[in-house]
Structure 1
Amino acid sequence: MSIALQNQAEVHAALAHAPIGAMIIDEAGVISWANQAVAALLGEPDPAALRLTLAFVWLPEDDAEVLRQMLDMFFAAPVDARPTWSRVVPIQTMEGIRQTAELTLTCAPGDFDKRALLYFQSLTRQTIAEKRFSQVFENLPLGALVVDTRQRIVQVNSALASEFGYPREELVGQPLETLLPARCRPAHREHVEGYVAAPASRMMGTGRDLTGLHRSGQEIPVEIALTRLENAAQPMFMAIVSDISSRKRSETALQQTNAQLEEFTYVASHDLRSPLRGIGDLVTWIREDLSGFELPDDVQYNFDRISLRIDRAEQMIDDLLRYARAGVRDTDMETISPAELVEEALALALVPDSFTIEVDLQGGDIVAPRAPLSTSLRNLIGNAVKHHGGASGRVRITMREEGRFSVFTVDDDGQGVTPGNEERIFKLFHRASPGTNGDGVGLAFTRRMINAHGGMVTVRSPGALGGASFEIHWPRILLKEHEDE
């Protein structure tokens, strides 16, 4: 065997099982040999069937003409100066399927001075992956952008453009600092250099309040997650940017409300109670001073009314303090049997014997603080009797599991809730039934206590028994809401 033939055999053997398509062509583009990978890419079962065909036939006319010109230039150059050429082109297989491939024209090793190697690298998977990424990227409900190592914005989705008030096309190509307040830019450059040196997926600015610069010039509070994107050309970095303005407003409003409530309860416990006690003492002294006189019945009656009003005002202050404390979450968790819980609530509610109690509990034990759940059930059972409207009736207590909640329902067959009052009855000092005892704190207290523990309480009227139907959704599967939990 000649040296030339031996070299050809070695090249064929080396390329026969290569993972990318390869064919050997002459200056006219005629194929003299092809491997199995290129045959599979072109839809030809037998690579030998490609011999003596033209490489151009798989390409669109314009790309085929470019390849002809490159072959002319390639073979016109000395062997040791022939350039390598690459081009991404669409190809059409024998089955009529269109694919995207990268063609690379290069010198064949050995004695193939009148031949060239043409590699076919299928980009179909890469193209599909890029399309999927673009679809996911664009449809993210959060703002997202991709930047290069020079901190230029390469890609941005509609959500981010909307968050910052820009048309999307206006941001592409701009420096990332466009979206940063001027005072943050020097420190940002240092953080970026450190991140590029050791990239890792993480939240940006942990422990610090981050802001972005809206097109209007206003700053918006944001959270940013960073990650590196693998790219053949150069490293890319993606940032997920969340506008947390609404959350910040809610947090601020909640903090203000809690601060006002604390201030109010301090005033109630100190500045209101002391004058009431002073009035009570004055009434007592006046009665003592008049103890030797025969007082008319109406005067005696008015003295009694004053004492009663003072006692009721002090009770309202106590209820306000209890209501404020109800917003504090109890962390003393224990495993509770629903049957024992309901039995305990019924005993403390002091339900008259004239009422029929029905209990239907379907569900397992609950891990929860006992006091707030027990108190809530007791209040609802007591209300079912107190606001029933009759001397006897039915009260039904049920439990079922629904998602991550245990749902307790307290139904009665009483007069129910007046239409339109379903939310009003949970307001502080609103009395559901004017003819009953109490100052209208019970349901407000119950809702505040349940909400503080991640649950909710609602009312429906008429319910299953024709009266009011209260539902407590109590979380049986707890969510992590605080860093120390």
Structure 2
Amino acid sequence: MTDSRTWLAAIVDSITDAVTSTRLDGTIVTWNRAAEDLYGFPASEAIGAAAADLLPEWADDIGAMLGAVAAGQTIRFGDGELTRRDGTTISITFMASPIRDADGTVVGQVSVAADISAHRRAEERFRQLVKGAPDGMVIVDADGVIVEVNAQTERLFGYPAEDLVGRPVELLVPDRFRSTHVGQRKAFLGRPTVHGMGVGLAISGRRRDGSEFPIEVSLAPLDLGPDKLVSASVRDVTDRQRAELDLARARDEAVAAAQLKSQFVAMVSHEIRTPMNGVLGLTDLLLDTPLDLTQRRYVETIGSSGRALLTIINDILDFSKMESGKVELVDADLDLRRLVEEVTGVAAELARDKDLTVSGYYPPTLPQLVRGDAGRLRQALLNLVGNAVKFTRRGTVLVTAEPAADGAVTFAVTDTGIGIAPADLDRLLEPFAQGDDQADRRFGGTGLGLTICRSLVELMGGRLEIDSAPGEGSRFSFTVPFPPASTDGVPIGGGLAGRRMLVADGSPATLRLIDEHARAWGMTSTACADSASALAALRAAAAAGEPYDVAVLDQSMFGADGMSVVDAVIAERGPGPPRVIVLTSGAYLSDLVAKRTGSVDVLARPVRLSDLYDSLVQDGRRRAGATRGTAPLAPAAATVLVAEDNEVNQLVAIGTLAALGYRCDVARNGLDAVRLAGSGTYAAVLMDCQMPEMDGYAATREIRRTGHRVPIIAMTAGALSEDRDRCLAAGMDDFVTKPIDRETMRTVLERWVRARPVDHPRRDVRDTVAGRLALLRNHQPPAATDLAGRVLAAFREGVPERLDAMAAALRTGDAEPLCRHAHDLVGMAGHLGTEDLAALAQDLQKAARDGDLATAGEVVHHLRAEYARVAEALSDLA
């Protein structure tokens, strides 16, 4: 028993709250250590003393407590002030319970007291924060009754605090929301840390006068002892909502203004392009007629002036698209090497009448294919080379592309032109700005080219940089990151290993380009920067019995007659004269050299490596159909339907097609176009988009609905990407903008007229298939079960499956499964006699084998349309 009492005493002493006990007369019996700390009296002094003597200010309360305990009651004081022995005052909670003997008689009381001063101080600090808070603060208990509000709440809702405390919080909520608010409040109190009502809830508040206003409420649980309370921060958001509405209205007005501006620019562009098509088209046709020198100069001036106006229109249109954020990049495989060569070729054409050497360079380490937007990259580079040629009277223009870190490529255009003053560099990239007023007068232009270029470069993830000095020239460069291509490029260079080549060129960039790539192809290359060293190297090699297999020579270093070095090389008659490849920017040399010897080939500057490789591996023989300087002729008897209502544009189209070797018929509106295209006699249709009776879009949809696969090429003055998308969505195959450029028209027609057969009237596909099925049934083996039905079912199930698989292969850029599925489809379509479907599948198979995924995508589109037509025609067959 002694041990039990000792153990019990130890337990009581270890309790952190003050635990004491007294007899019913108030004499203190026990006093734990926490009581010593709380009251300030040691146990030795307290035990045996009267509680009322130790705590005289509580004497009355102690008497009443002892009376209540004697009656068997438990007494609780939630909050009280106690003056300790040292005179300090603390806040406590107090509870007293009766002590009974074995008979159940009350013989004393045990009390527990706790110091809650820190808690009360925290409450007071919180109360002061609530009072001073800029937002309304409402404290609510677990039953939704308001416990406390601050002055801001009184101002927001128009109630004095005394009219709110003790009232349900729903008093501040509009009548129509009160029932749902009760449920939300209870849900928050049940799970205050996870409920979605906790922060930034936008609701309506109700003022005392019944008016409503928007408020934002943030709720948080309060830990204030045993009570469950919620703090609600209330903010009037009337001004904010008004500002947001004003901002939204201003944004909508700005968007509408931008759209209106874009529509206006597009409309102006369209309206100018339509007559410009007549001006430039007829100018080109007029230049094909006999003219005296004065007449020719006048006509050429008309053409160049018209093209200058067209450039300004294009710049303004591009700038408008940039400004409105409507330019989106296309993600497709991009041939970097070909693009650099194309841009360099354009620069050379621009510099044709200037004393300029235009060169391009990229190292063998430059990846051939990457993923990117070829059109936008080309546009940025063409802006730069256009400026370089414009502002450079003599010297060089160099276009380069070199690998950078992490798959990026650095492009640069360097010139030896007039240069740019440091003070003009910053404003040079601003819209409509130019280097100085003199440049504005001397060279003209809109001042938009570099702005457009910078925007395009930034859109591609790069930054345009300028390094320039007045009188010395400029270097514009940017570095763009490119992800790897979905397919590998087709490398060139095979079959040349071990061959010896000498290259002599006055352009360091061209010399480096040819020399480095020749070495990459496995050749032994000697590079010479002048004609004297070239001749010396040729003679030394011949004397050593190791003559060069080929010499690549720059015509510009040959001398006055353009033939001195060529003659000297051919005269070297050692074990065998080397083949000579002459690089020239003058077409006249081709005829002169061709008359001298078959061992001389001529390539245009700036040289394309693919052309150089062709010449090297074929010993001077060009590839079939690629004779330089001669435009390929149109397919024999090819007739094109021109759907155009404007008589001037008709005249331009007829003349352009005749110059390209095509015959043509004219449809004056969309209805005529549908009727004539249905005859199946046309190799292609040039479709104007805006015509009376039926526009080009509707006409195209009608032609496609009837099942005709004749290529339809949009011919429109609309130059926006949306215009192109709308044409393709209507079922057209390609898109050319007015004014019509003859070479562009040649390229587009060659793409479609040569790729697709002329549409011929079809035999009814249902009759053909029905005949094939009947043939199968007549010849099926006796043991076979409905062979024709199984073939038809396999067709109906297999074609959609393969079409879906083709679409998946196109998304991943994988040509191999595309080719395989196309092969399967050829067989399935052929078995049933669906000839057009089989022909399309063959087109797809060829495009997939060639790696031409762009054409493959278009063919898959036509395959789906053709299958839908066939499936509908066969719907009643079994």
Deviation at 1:194, TM superposition (A): 4.4
Partner-residue secondary structure (3-state), 1:211: strand
Choose from 228, 233, 255 the match for 1:235: 228
Query: Hey, what does 2:629 align to over in structure 1?
Result: none
Q: Is the 8 A contact 1:203 1:226 kept in 2?
A: no
Deviation at 1:319, TM superposition (A): 1.8
Partner-residue secondary structure (3-state), 1:317: helix
Amino acid at match of 1:34: W
Within-5 A mapping of 1:147-158? 147-156=140-149
TM-score (norm 2): 0.33
Query: Hey, what does 2:115 align to over in structure 1?
Result: 122
Q: Is the 8 A contact 1:8 1:110 kept in 2?
A: no
Query: Hey, what does 1:220 align to over in structure 2?
Result: 214
Deviation at 1:126, TM superposition (A): 2.4
CA deviation vs aligned residue, 1:179-220 (integer Å, no higher than 9, x gap): 4444433433343454455555333399x9943237594543
Query: Hey, what does 1:474 align to over in structure 2?
Result: none
Q: Is the 8 A contact 1:201 1:228 kept in 2?
A: no
Distance 1:166 1:128, change over 3 A: same
Q: Is the 8 A contact 2:192 2:198 kept in 1?
A: no
Query: Hey, what does 2:33 align to over in structure 1?
Result: 36
Query: Hey, what does 2:708 align to over in structure 1?
Result: none
Q: Distance in 2 between matches of 1:84 and 1:439?
A: 91
Within-5 A mapping of 1:53-64? 55=51
Within-5 A mapping of 1:45-124? 46-51=42-47, 55=51, 65=57, 67-76=58-67, 79-82=70-73, 84-86=75-77, 88-94=79-85, 97-110=88-101, 115-124=108-117
1:414 aligns with 2:436: no
Q: Is the 8 A contact 2:142 2:229 kept in 1?
A: yes
Query: Hey, what does 1:277 align to over in structure 2?
Result: 273
Q: Distance in 2 between matches of 1:331 and 1:235?
A: 59
Q: Is the 8 A contact 2:425 2:435 kept in 1?
A: no
Q: Is the 8 A contact 1:103 1:120 kept in 2?
A: yes
Q: Is the 8 A contact 1:201 1:226 kept in 2?
A: no
Within-5 A mapping of 1:137-156? 145-156=138-149
Amino acid at match of 1:284: L
Partner-residue secondary structure (3-state), 2:94: strand
Distance 1:130 1:218, change over 3 A: same
Query: Hey, what does 2:196 align to over in structure 1?
Result: 203
1:322 aligns with 2:318: no
Query: Hey, what does 1:24 align to over in structure 2?
Result: 21
Distance 1:144 1:449, change over 3 A: farther
Distance 1:431 1:452, change over 3 A: same
CA deviation vs aligned residue, 1:112-132 (integer Å, no higher than 9, x gap): 956443432111342244346
Distance 1:86 1:213, change over 3 A: closer
Query: Hey, what does 1:340 align to over in structure 2?
Result: none
Q: Distance in 1 between matches of 2:457 and 2:148?
A: 47
Query: Hey, what does 1:473 align to over in structure 2?
Result: none
Q: Is the 8 A contact 2:98 2:109 kept in 1?
A: yes
Gaps of 5+ in 2: 332-343, 345-370, 389-419, 462-878
CA deviation vs aligned residue, 1:61-104 (integer Å, no higher than 9, x gap): xxx54x32233334456823456242522334455544211233
Q: More helix by proportion, 1 or 2?
A: 2
Query: Hey, what does 1:481 align to over in structure 2?
Result: none
Q: Percent identity?
A: 14
Amino acid at match of 2:433: R
Partner-residue secondary structure (3-state), 1:325: coil
Amino acid at match of 1:17: S
Amino acid at match of 2:271: P
Q: Distance in 2 between matches of 1:143 and 1:176?
A: 13
Query: Hey, what does 2:797 align to over in structure 1?
Result: none
Q: Is the 8 A contact 2:83 2:89 kept in 1?
A: yes
1:189 aligns with 2:186: no
Q: Is the 8 A contact 1:29 1:68 kept in 2?
A: no
Q: How big is the alpha-carbon RMSD for the aligned residues of Structure 1 and Structure 2?
A: 5.9
TM-score (norm 1): 0.54
- Name the stretch that deviates more: 135-144 or 255-264: 135-144
Deviation at 1:275, TM superposition (A): 0.7
CA deviation vs aligned residue, 1:262-317 (integer Å, no higher than 9, x gap): 56435544x23211202423433675789969679999978855653342122111
Within-5 A mapping of 1:455-474? none
Partner-residue secondary structure (3-state), 1:203: coil
Deviation at 1:21, TM superposition (A): 0.2
Q: Is the 8 A contact 1:101 1:120 kept in 2?
A: yes
Partner-residue secondary structure (3-state), 1:439: coil
Deviation at 1:20, TM superposition (A): 1.3
Q: Is the 8 A contact 2:23 2:109 kept in 1?
A: yes
Amino acid at match of 2:205: L
Q: Distance in 1 between matches of 2:459 and 2:206?
A: 35
Distance 1:260 1:16, change over 3 A: same
Partner-residue secondary structure (3-state), 2:422: coil
CA deviation vs aligned residue, 1:312-342 (integer Å, no higher than 9, x gap): 12211112213333788x999xxxxxxxxxx
Distance 1:140 1:280, change over 3 A: farther
Within-5 A mapping of 1:377-416? 414-415=422-423
Q: Distance in 2 between matches of 1:331 and 1:272?
A: 26
Gaps of 5+ in 1: 333-347, 349-368, 387-411, 454-485
Deviation at 1:415, TM superposition (A): 1.9
Distance 1:48 1:195, change over 3 A: same
Q: Is the 8 A contact 2:99 2:108 kept in 1?
A: yes
Q: Distance in 1 between matches of 2:300 and 2:94?
A: 109
Q: Is the 8 A contact 1:30 1:53 kept in 2?
A: yes
Q: Is the 8 A contact 1:156 1:168 kept in 2?
A: no
Query: Hey, what does 1:362 align to over in structure 2?
Result: none
Query: Hey, what does 2:637 align to over in structure 1?
Result: none
Query: Hey, what does 1:312 align to over in structure 2?
Result: 312
Query: Hey, what does 1:431 align to over in structure 2?
Result: 433
Q: Is the 8 A contact 1:104 1:118 kept in 2?
A: yes
User: Which has the larger Rg?
Assistant: 2
Q: Distance in 1 between matches of 2:106 and 2:451?
A: 94
Q: Distance in 2 between matches of 1:199 and 1:30?
A: 47
Distance 1:18 1:220, change over 3 A: same
Distance 1:139 1:32, change over 3 A: same
Q: Distance in 2 between matches of 1:299 and 1:96?
A: 113
